[in-house]
Amino acid sequence: MKPAPFEYLVPDSVEAALGFLREYGDDAKLLAGGQSLVPAMNFRLVQPGVLIDLNRLDELGYINPAAEGGLRIGAMTRQSRLERDSLIEQRAPLVFEAASYIAHPQIRNRGTVGGSLAHADPAAELPVISLALGARFKVASAAGERWVAAEDFFLGMFTADLSPEEMLVEIELPAPQPKSGWAFLEVARRQGDYAMMGVAAVLTLDADGVCQQARLVYLNAGDGPVAARQAAEMLVGEAQLEELCEAAAAKAAAEEIDPPGNVHASPEYQRHLARVLTRRALQQAFQRARDARN
Amino acid sequence: MGNGRIQVSVIVNGEEYQEQVEPRLLLSDFLRHDLGLTGTHVGCEHGVCGACTILLDGQAVRSCLMFAVQVDGQEITTVEGMAEDKDHLHPLQQGFWDAHGLQCGFCTPGILMTLVPFLQENPHPSEAEIRAAISGNLCRCTGYQHIVDAVLLAAGYMGEGIGE
């Protein structure tokens, strides 16, 4: 199908884009990579009166080092950069590892980091990864800027904490902790398809090998990225993590996720996948944390 | 509002075009209907099948998920831009010819355009890497095996400088 008619605006600065948003608000849609919005427009599920194309905003395409080993990523950075960038590899290895799971190469060449986060698809990888890493988001409007933590940003199905006049402009990732390990695993029927289940695990150990912090976050397991906080809490303060992986995985899969099921996977099968993937992800993250230098 | 036409200047396969287009015109339809370059195929129009894949500034993208107005000032390559002429195929095309990498041919332009930058970045791919590279392109005829064979053959041709 073809999209309904719209007025097309191409701002040449973030300021101009925010001015258009203030003017058109609810009637406007921001076009980032367009890999989710344009299909929805082609189906006429979305019919914006005004389309504000952000693709000329080169100022929002960057991956920069931040203070103390963190990263700042511009919202219009293409997803394909994440899987090739050496700064990402060094400072956000979970992102580096998970990037190639995001859809297909052609999609990643256009799709943007900010677009995927703002779209807040519960089956998407980037919301899960940003929550697992404790990212913060810079949100701008003509009235000013504010920072939102990832755990407060995802409000529900395809809903992020963005008003019609606001735009996500930057993603800040904290530096990886010393002695930390990570893993991202998912199962899809075909590489690049929406995964039936996926999990990101991040563990931090102290010098004695005792777990200081643990995060487990799931995709396609509820209304947004779903954190299994109780299962993660089972690991904190413990040193014999290998013995706890199975129990934590079982708790997360049985009690903390709410998989919707679809034609390819029943909720029961999704829970089964979650349990198996969580166990493997925790084992891998634990191994990496233990092997980490310093 | 919304129906005003916008000027687009774009270089396609080395040739410059200037057209007036409606903002909602998909890039895939622009290539096929406005420029007459019907080698780019349209399958699903929602980014699943990969038949409409083209190169935008050298990168493989889905032309059904872009608007023609967005490519103003940029360079596009379509499948028509691959071969020098009908007697001198691109080594990738030659590989598909020799290994029977197509049957009905509907998916072939999209698969070729996906693989051109892939082989530039990875000139000696494994079978698994090839399968990952074409994961965003649906073929309902071949079962993909002959496509994978064709890419391996083409990678060999390119290594030997055949067809370049």
List pLDDT tens digits, range A105-135. Answer: 999 999 999 999 999 999 999 999 999 999 9
Q: Is pLDDT at B164 greater than 60 in this prediction?
A: no
* Residue B46 distance to chain A (closest CA, Å): 4
Same domain, B109 and B63: no
Residues of the domain holding B14: 6-81
Extract the tokens encoding B133.
């590279």
Asked whether the beta carbons of residue B46 and residue A7 sit closer than 8 angstroms, the reply is no
Split into its structural domains, chain B has a count of 2
Name the band, by pLDDT with cuts 50, 70 and 90, for residue A20.
very high
Given B29, B132, B136, which is nearest A106 (Cβ)? B136
What pLDDT is recorded for position B49?
96
Chain pair A-B, CB pairs under 8 angstroms: 87
Q: Mean pLDDT for chain B?
A: 95
Contacts of residue B62 in chain A, CB cutoff 8 Å? 35, 106-107, 110
B76 shares its domain with B95: no
**Contact: A5, B46; criterion CB under 8 Å:** no
DSSP output for B36-88: --TTS--S-SSSSS-TTEEEETTEEEEGGGSBGGGGTT-EEE-GGGT-SBTTB
Last residue of a domain, one of B28, B52, B81: B81
Per-residue pLDDT band for B159 (boundaries 50, 70, 90) equals confident
What secondary structure does DSSP assign to A209-230, as a single string? S-EEEEEEEEESSSSS-EE-HH
Q: Is the pLDDT of residue A67 over 90?
A: no
Evaluated on CA atoms A265, A268, A270, A273, the torsion sign reads negative
Q: Which of B28, B60, B81 is the last residue of a domain?
A: B81
Q: Rounded to an integer, what distance in angstroms lies between the CA atom of residue A176 and that of residue A150?
A: 16
Residues B95 and B154 in one domain: yes
User: Who has greater pLDDT, A190 or A247?
Assistant: A247
Does B114 map to a domain? yes
B133 contacts chain A (CB < 8 A)? yes
Domain boundary residue among B40, B59, B81?
Answer: B81
* pLDDT per residue as tens digits for the range A173-231: 999 999 999 999 999 998 899 999 999 999 999 999 999 999 999 999 999 999 999 99
The letter for the amino acid at B39 is G
A104 and B65 within 8 Å at the Cβ level: the answer is: no
Residues B50 and B97 in one domain: no
Note the ipTM here: 0.95
Q: Tell whether the model's pLDDT for residue B68 goes beyond 90.
A: yes
Query: What are the chain A neighbours of B61 within 8 Å (beta carbons)?
Result: 106, 109-110
pLDDT attached to residue A103: 96
Is B127 a domain residue? yes
Q: Please say if the pLDDT value at position B2 is more than 60.
A: no
A292 falls in which pLDDT band (50, 70, 90)?
Answer: confident
Residue B1 placed within a domain: no
Residues B55, B106: one domain?
Answer: no
State whether residue B29 sits within 8 Å of chain A by CB.
yes
Question: Domain with B109 in it: what CATH number?
Answer: 1.10.150.120
B12 and B67 together in one domain: yes
**B68-97 residues labelled b (16+ CB within 10 A) or e (exposed):** bbbbeeeebbbbbbbeeeeeebbbbbbbbe
Q: What is the pLDDT of residue A294?
A: 55
Residue B86 lies in a domain: no
Count other Cβ atoms within 10 Å, centred on residue A145: 12
Q: pLDDT at residue B163 above 80? A: no
User: Within this chain, do residues B113 and B144 fall inside the same structural domain, yes or no?
Assistant: yes
Residue A34 and residue B118: Cβ atoms within 8 Å? no
Domains in chain A: ranges and CATH: 7-51 (3.30.43.10), 61-173 (3.30.465.10), 180-291 (3.30.390.50)
| B32 and B63 part of one domain | yes
Whole-number Å distance between alpha carbons of A276 and A112: 30
Nearest residue to B90 (alpha-carbon basis) of B6, B164, B3: B164
Number of Cβ atoms within 10 Å of the Cβ of A5: 15
pTM above 0.90, yes or no: yes
* pLDDT band with cut points at 50, 70 and 90 for residue B86: confident
Q: A290 Cβ partners below 8 Å, 6+ apart?
A: A179, A181, A205, A209
A78-109 pLDDT, tens digit each: 999 999 999 999 999 999 999 999 999 999 99
- B6 contacts in A (CB within 8 Å)? 8
Section B23-46 average pLDDT:
98
Closest to A38 (Cα-Cα) out of B164, B131, B44? B44
Indicate whether B74 and B117 sit together in one domain: no
Q: How far is A266 from chain B (nearest CA, A)?
A: 23
Distance from CA of B163 to the nearest CA of A (A): 26
Using an 8 Å CB-CB cutoff, list chain B residues near A102: none
Element (DSSP H or E) covering residue A39: helix A37-42
* pLDDT (0 to 100) of residue B79: 98
SS3 A205: strand
pLDDT tens digits for range A264-277: 999 999 999 999 99
| CA nearest to A214, candidates A243, A238, A247, A197 | A238
Instruction: Please give the pLDDT value at position A1.
Output: 82
Residues of A in contact with B77 (CB under 8 A): none
pLDDT of residue A25: 87
Best residue in B135, B140, B148 for a mutation probing chain A (most A CBs within 10 Å): B135
Looking at the structure, do residues B77 and B95 belong to the same domain, yes or no?
A: no
Beta bridge partners of A82: none
Distance from CA of A14 to the nearest CA of B (A): 17
Domain of B17: which CATH number?
3.10.20.30
Q: Average the pLDDT over A245-249 and give the result.
A: 97
State the DSSP code for A194.
Answer: P
Residues B75 and B107 reside in one and the same domain: no
**Pair B28, B71 in one domain:** yes
- Is residue B110 included in any domain, yes or no? yes
User: How many residues in total does chain B contain?
Assistant: 164
For residue B33, is it within any domain? yes
Average pLDDT on B73-84 reads 97
| Residues A150-179 pLDDT 10s | 999 999 999 999 999 999 999 999 999 999
Q: How confident is the model over B17-42, as a mean pLDDT? A: 98
Q: Please give the Cα distance from A122 to B106 (Å, whole number).
A: 33
Is residue A164 a contact partner of residue A139, using CB atoms and an 8 Å limit?
no
Chain B contact set for A116 (CB, 8 A): none
Minimum mean pLDDT range among A57-66, A179-188, B82-91: B82-91
Residue B64 within a domain: yes
- From A43, which residue of chain B is nearest by alpha-carbon distance? B46
